[in-house]
Amino acid sequence: MPLTDRDLAILGFEAEWRRHADAKEEAIRADLGMSPARYYQLLGRIIDTAEAQAVDPMLVKRLRRLREARESARLRGAAATR
Is the pLDDT score of 67 beyond 80?
yes
pTM confidence score? 0.84
**Structural domain boundaries in the chain:** 5-80
How far is it, in rounded angstroms, from Cα 35 to Cα 47?
18
Q: Dihedral sign, CA of 58, 60, 63, 67? A: negative
> Which of these, 9, 12, 7, 76, lies nearest to 48 by C-alpha position?
7
Q: What distance lies between CA 58 and its chain's CA centroid?
A: 13
26-47 confidence digits (pLDDT tens) = 999 999 999 999 999 999 999 9
Give the per-residue pLDDT at 17. Answer: 83
Percent of the chain with pLDDT over 70: 95
Side chain identity at 12, as an amino acid letter? G
User: Is residue 4's pLDDT more than 90?
Assistant: yes
Q: Which of 19, 18, 6, 12 is nearest to 55 (CA)?
A: 12
